[in-house]
Amino acid sequence: MQSSTELQRKVIAAVEVSVEKARDYFKKPLIVPEVRFDLRGKSAGQARFEVQRSWGGNKSHATIRFNRLLMQENPQAFIDEVAPHEAVHVIAHQLFGTRIKPHGQEWKMIMRTVLNRDPVVTHRFDIARASPKPWLYQCHCPEVEHALSTIRHNRIQRQQTTYMCRQCQAPLSYIGSSRAR
């Protein structure tokens, strides 16, 4: 297993601090989730819950996954915003159960009251390098670019298919990679 970087340790510490604040506030035992840095794509973080059913009762296991590339590009925002945001999903799940909305009133209340943070739902990071759709195409629409996945890009390059713009119905033509910009 790869050793963690200083930034990863800081993000994990931010998760632990958030859980500790919630423990103190609610006076309830809360479990610190497993933290991984293997998320890809546009999302900065993701809280996942798995229920393990057994004869002795059901056990819930929480994991927080972080996008390593976006974290490296936005280190302080991950420590200050993303880690607490995802930790609150785990906290709310432990306190209020599985039937709450992901960014519902319980989540918002914990963000505001316990962590003293604005309950911002989405990030505004530049996702060009992290995007799973790095291949740019154009049609006849002015100033419109279409981002395609590697699978679709390869199908076009192998001449297995043609993709059309939904607006102008023109075939899409390759203009380059978003990663090169």
Task: Quote the longest CA-to-CA distance of the chain.
Answer: 62
* Dihedral over Cα of 78, 121, 45, 29: its sign: positive
For the beta carbon of residue 155, count every other beta carbon within 10 angstroms: 15
Angle at CA 21, nearest 5°, toward 98 and 104? Answer: 35
98 burial type by CB count under 10 A (0-12 exposed, 13-18 middle, 19+ buried): exposed
Active site residue 50: no
- Spatial contact of 93 and 62, defined as CB atoms under 8 Å apart: yes
For the beta carbon of residue 114, count every other beta carbon within 10 angstroms: 18
Beta strands of the chain (E only): which ranges? 34-39, 45-52, 59-67, 135-138, 145-148, 173-177
Q: Which of 86, 106, 143, 145 is catalytic?
A: 86
Active site residues: 86
